[in-house]
Structures are given as structure tokens and as C-alpha cells.
Structure 1
């Protein structure tokens, strides 16, 4: 904490080379046009992939804040949520340019060494959306409480079952790496259902049968989707081939949830309660149309905006982000969106969610 920003001369020396690399990787720049005078603050924002609305909303929130604070933003992304190498290259480029700060939604522990190098180079690094492991790898984290998000949809599913046996499909993100968002959402969901999670940092170690808060449960399958629509579809197809009676489907993100909903429809399963996490306009529409029973809505635009503001406060005033009470990160909020409210669980309707979606 409290690092001195890199010397501007390093930026000037590296500018020509960095410009070529930036063009090759498809990076874009956004210069702030107001705020404090003097040299701009240079920030690189690195997201998980370039196209998902969650990440584009984060970028837009950051750019809006940048325009108000004389911040110049370079944006970069992994090829998709499995791509650590693309993020590592973006970090190395930020070091070469002599950027003041990096905001990153990291694609897993393979990125950790590059983050360490950036901090060793004097760059202020904040994590957005995805906490690092360990948490103090970065100077601070601004994120939704992903465990809480999972709990919300888990409590809703348990209540909506109204005592029926839960035959559950768990559609997580990854099978080849451990990412905090993945296990936090999964374990939060199970906790919300009232199922013992054993190790909250590990997916798949819970008992496959037992009791949830409303009755008996069986976990029919646990499949990885890579957070993709086709991954969600094929994972759901695999699960239905194992147990056609699945009536609860947890998807770790809405993109995979769309694919899961397609597979359920094709199989003629119209009664399963499908829940997900994100809160995009597409996800909220799926609640309105009934293919999703509930979603936990997060606010990536706020993460981007608050991330830029936190960088400015630190570099110009020496102020660091203060974690929310009881957490090791700044909680940017989450709300349950459903049109089938369950007693005792605070929620908003899809009409209200549409006003806050991205």
C-alpha cells in the first residue's frame, strides 16, 4: 500500500514499443477530459474477455469515471475466461508503459506472478469482481460478494421448492483451475439451500445426498461450463442423461444459464428451477420470460467506476479503499431478482431489475 507511482519518463521511453503491442492486442485508450489539472493518471483495466456484457459494462463505468478525473484508460482482456496468457501480456505492457495503476478481473492464479511484478514495478493494483488468492496479492479489491450472491439464489430455490425433494444440477465455471468466483458462487448456493459445504473453498466435496433446509436433496451432477453458452448447453445435456428428474439447476453465470435453459427446453423439462448470477439485461429478461426463476444481480459498472475513483484517491490523496465490514474487499452490492417472491427473502421484480441491468 502507499506505493510511489512509476516515473513518467519510463512511459515515454516505452511509448513507441507499447503502441505497437497495444495495436496488436486490440487494446483501446480513453483519455479523461476534465478533473484535476497536470499530467493524466494512466490506468490499465484488464477484464476476463472482450465481449461479455458484464465486462463491457465494467469498462463503460470506468471510462465514465475517467472522463471526470483526468484519467487515461487503456483496456485489455483475455481471449475468454480461460485465457491467463492474454492478461499476463496486458500486465507486462502496463509495466512497460509505466502506467500508474492496473485494475484487473483476473483469470485465475496463473496471473499472480505478473501481478507481483507489476507491484514490484511500483504500479498500484486493484482487483475488480474477482478477489485474488491470497487477498493481499493486490492493494485492494472491489467486488460483489459472490458468496452472498450464491446464497440468495440458493435460499430462493429452497423456498420455491416448498418441501419437495431437490434433485440438483450444479453447473460451475471451471474444471481445470480454481477461481474464487467459481467456488464462492457454488458454495454460496449450497449454503443458501441449507446444505453442508464442508470446505467453502472447494467445489464438489459436499455429500451427494442428504437434507437441505426444506427436505431431502440429491446432487445429480457437477459440470464445468467455462462460463460459455455452449458449455452450459452441453453440461446440462450431460446432466439430464444422468438424471432426467433434475428440478433445480444452479448456473454460475447467466451465459452458461442460457445454454442450460436451451437444453432443458429441448428435453421437455419445463419445471426445473433455474437460477443464476450476474444480473444483465438479458438475464433479467430471462426472469421475465420464465426461463430463469431468479438471478442475483451484480453491478459491474459500479465496480469500474469505483475502481477508477479509488485509484485517483490513492495516487492523488494517499487514500486507500476501506473493505466493507466483515470482509476483505469493498462490497459493490447484489440484489435478488425474481417474479416469484419467496417469503422471508428480500427481492426485487424483473421490472425493477430491468432499471438497474446492464
Structure 2
């Protein structure tokens, strides 16, 4: 009887130990599967007055919530300060993030630092812009050449052999500025030589406004001004509206992005058209793609988040209203 009891006690103890071991293994495996992904996103800047960056960051935050990702947004306040951004990239590397997403400020001066991300064994995603070397695991951005081409082709309809054109761009060494200008030039085709000047506002509303006023004084016969991002487009529109006012203005303006102020200028007739980027979509796709890369899934090297050219005539369609007011569609 005692031997039988001892035998069953040993069996029970063994089963208990085995159960505990299996439970421990399961718990460890579950913890591994539930490991929270640590992601850092470094935009060109954080500016609550800029609807493009606000919407992009909102999209990234929503994706992080949907996929249970620990997302840290770490951006500066100056879209031209690549040195500050490089320091933030180094800080993200030191934090041992699983994946780092960057919107490089400089096409050339950001390259060496983003290469360090890859050298550290960290996955790298570019958002909105890139650098002069193919180093990222994926780029999520507007096809800026194609978007610039849309702008140029629209402008061409109103141009003639006597037209004078000026471009108010944003940051000289930014890939977005480079590609949009290239696309615009291709779009206006035979009128490219009639671009009288290109100026850079360094993504500053007031500087874009001042530069546009100077252009209007310098070129009294100026016909068309193209603003290549929200800052440059808004500044240009403010200057033209102030000097000429009303819908009868002679100088035409076309711009990028869709802040509420830009939409009002479009309704008023100051803007002939605006090229709207899908910035919320861009931010969401950036986080979603980062997670796929971490899981080892194959992703396209370049993902076009899309853009549409919107005029006063088509701005009230249901689809374009969703693009112009993305937050009201949730």
C-alpha cells in the first residue's frame, strides 16, 4: 500500500513539474510573440500650424494604436536643421529601437547618419523624402515627380510664349523640392525656359510671403507662381491676395497641400489649383510597412501614398472632400 502510494505521489509530482514546465515554456513563448515593437519616427519637423505634418503624424499614431506599437515621435522645429535631425537619429539608434522611420531633411547631408541606422542592425523606413543613396528598407512617399508633373500640365493650359513663371520652393537640398521642381518643369514642357526665378522659403510662411512680394515687384509682368509645399504656397497666396485681392487677380497661383487656409484661397480663386498629398495615409502606411519589414515580409521598395490635383470646379465632389478634409471623414 505504501509502495503504491509512493508510486502515485511520484507520478503526480512528475506531472505537476511537467505541467509547470510546459506553462513556463508557453508563457515565455507568448511573451516573445507579444513583444512590443519599439519604433521611433523622426519627421522633418513638428509644427501644429502645418496641416501636412500634423495629418501625417496623426496617421502614424493611429497605425501604432491599431497594431499595438510603441511609437515615439521625435522631431525638431526647423525643417532646414539637418544637424539637429542627425542628432535625433543618433539618439534613436542609442535607444536600440527595433525600427527607425525618418523623413530626411537633406538629400545629401542626412545620408551618412541614416546609413548608421542600418549599420546598427536596425530596420530603416523613409517617409515623405529620401537621400542620395538607396539605404532604406522602404520609402513611403508621394511620387513627387508625378505630383509636380500634374501641377505643370495644369499650368501649361494657361501659358503662352510671353508668360513669366516663378517658383517658390521650400528647402533647396530636400528631395521633395528637387523632384517636384523637376516634375513641374517637365509638365510645362515648352514653357520651361520662361521660369524667371526659383526662390526658397526654408519652409517658413513669412519668408515665402516676403519673397513673393519681392518677385511681384521685380517681375511686374509675372503670370504664374507655383508654391511647392504648404509653407511656400500659403506665403505666396497671402502676398498675391494682399497685393491684387479678389478673384480678378492677374497673377495665377498654384500650390501643394491642403491646409484650411489653402482651401479658403482655392474657394476665393487665389489658387487656380492645389496638389493634395494623402499625408494621413502616408503616416499610417509608414508604421504598417515598418511592422511588415520587422516580420520579414516582402514589401515594395517604394510605396506611393498618392496625390490629386484639385481645382475650384471639382473641390466639392465627395471624393475630393474626403481628401481636403480627412479628419472629418473618420
How far apart are the structure 2 equivalents of 1:66 and 1:268? 46
Q: Find 1:44's aligned residue among 40, 62, 65.
A: 40
How far apart are the structure 1 equivalents of 2:129 and 2:259? 17
Instruction: Give the secondary-structure state (helix, strand or coil) at the position aligned to 2:298.
Output: coil
For structure 1, which runs of at least 5 residues remain unmatched after alignment?
A: 1-35, 196-210, 324-328, 341-347
User: How large is the Cα RMSD of the aligned pairs?
Assistant: 2.0
1:354 aligned residue:
321
Is residue 220 from structure 1 mapped to residue 196 from structure 2 by the alignment?
Answer: yes
- Once the two structures are TM-superposed, the CA of residue 350 in structure 1 deviates from its matched residue by 5.0
Runs of 4+ residues over 4 Å off in structure 1: none
**Larger gyration radius, structure 1 or structure 2:** 2
Q: Give deviations 1:6-43, integer Å, cap 9, x for gaps.
A: xxxxxxxxxxxxxxxxxxxxxxxxxxxxxx95111011
**Number of matched pairs:** 287
2:23 aligned residue:
none
2:96 aligned residue:
98
1:229 aligned residue:
205
Residues 45 and 75, structure 1, Cα contact 8 Å, conserved in 2: yes
1:112/1:220 CA distance change after superposition, 3 Å: same
For structure 2, which runs of at least 5 residues remain unmatched after alignment?
A: 1-31
Instruction: Give the secondary-structure state (helix, strand or coil) at the position aligned to 2:112.
Output: helix
Q: Find 2:187's aligned residue among 178, 187, 192.
A: 192
TM-score (norm 2): 0.81
Instruction: Give the secondary-structure state (helix, strand or coil) at the position aligned to 2:109.
Output: helix
Instruction: Give the secondary-structure state (helix, strand or coil) at the position aligned to 1:138.
Output: coil
Q: Give deviations 1:317-358, integer Å, cap 9, x for gaps.
A: x113214xxxxx211111111025xxxxxxx42554332235
Residues 185 and 252, structure 1, Cα contact 8 Å, conserved in 2: yes
- Once the two structures are TM-superposed, the CA of residue 86 in structure 1 deviates from its matched residue by 2.3
User: Which of the two has greater helix per residue?
Assistant: 2
1:260 aligned residue:
236
Q: Give deviations 1:203-246, integer Å, cap 9, x for gaps.
A: xxxxxxxx46xxxx632322111122112111112212221111
1:321 aligned residue:
299
1:145 aligned residue:
143
1:25 aligned residue:
none
